[in-house]
Amino acid sequence: MPTKTPVLHFLLLLCICLGTACNNIIDQRYTITLATIQNDTDGLLNQVRVRHQPTGAIGTTNYILPHRSFNVRFDGRAMMGDSATISWIDEQGEYYSNTLLLPKNQNNDDQEKQLVYRIRQGNQVSVVIMNPR
C-alpha cells in the first residue's frame, strides 16, 4: 500500500488547489444591480442584443433612440459572464457585432455596481463598471 499514499497526497493537493482557484474566480465577480446599454450615436439602434459567455444570458431590446439608454434592473446578482457579445442593426440596415471581455473585480469590491455598455459613433463599443446612479 505504500505506492497509493503519494497518489492520495497528490489528489488531495489537487482538490485543495482547485477549490482555491474556484473561490478566487468567484471573488472576482461584481454584484450587479443595473445593466445599461447606452446609445451614444446620432442614429437609432435596432434589434440590440447582449449575450454573456459562458452563461448564455441574453438581454435584448427592439430599439434604442439616439443618445438614450436601455436599463435592466437586478436584485443584486453576481455577474457570472467572462465576455459579452453586443450586436445591433443601424438605421441603414447594417448589422454590427462586437465581443468584449467583462471587467473583473480584482480588488474584491463588495459594493453593488452598474454594468454599462456604450455604443459610440463609428460603431465602437466599450464596457465599464460604475457605482449605481
What are the tens digits of pLDDT across the range 30-47? 888 888 999 999 999 999
Task: Tell me what pLDDT residue 22 has.
Answer: 42
| Distance from C-alpha of 67 to C-alpha of 72, rounded to nearest angstrom | 17
Task: Tell me what pLDDT residue 29 has.
Answer: 83
| Tens-place pLDDT, residues 71-83 | 988 766 677 788 8
Q: How many domains does the chain have?
A: 1
The pTM of the full predicted model, rounded to 2 decimals, is: 0.75
* Mean pLDDT value of segment 53-71: 91
Q: What is the mean pLDDT of the chain?
A: 81
pLDDT value at 126 more than 90: yes
| Tens-place pLDDT, residues 3-19 | 556 655 555 554 454 44
| Distance from C-alpha of 117 to C-alpha of 50, rounded to nearest angstrom | 9
- The secondary structure element, H or E, covering residue 26 is helix 4-27
Domain range for 74 is 4-130
CATH number at residue 97: 2.60.40.2890
pLDDT value at 133 more than 80: no
* Mean pLDDT value of segment 79-90: 90
Strand 31-40 and strand 112-120: pairing?
Answer: parallel
| Distance from C-alpha of 120 to C-alpha of 64, rounded to nearest angstrom | 13
The strand ranges marked E within the chain are 31-40, 45-53, 58-64, 69-78, 83-89, 95-101, 112-120, 124-130
Is the model more confident about 34 or about 118?
118
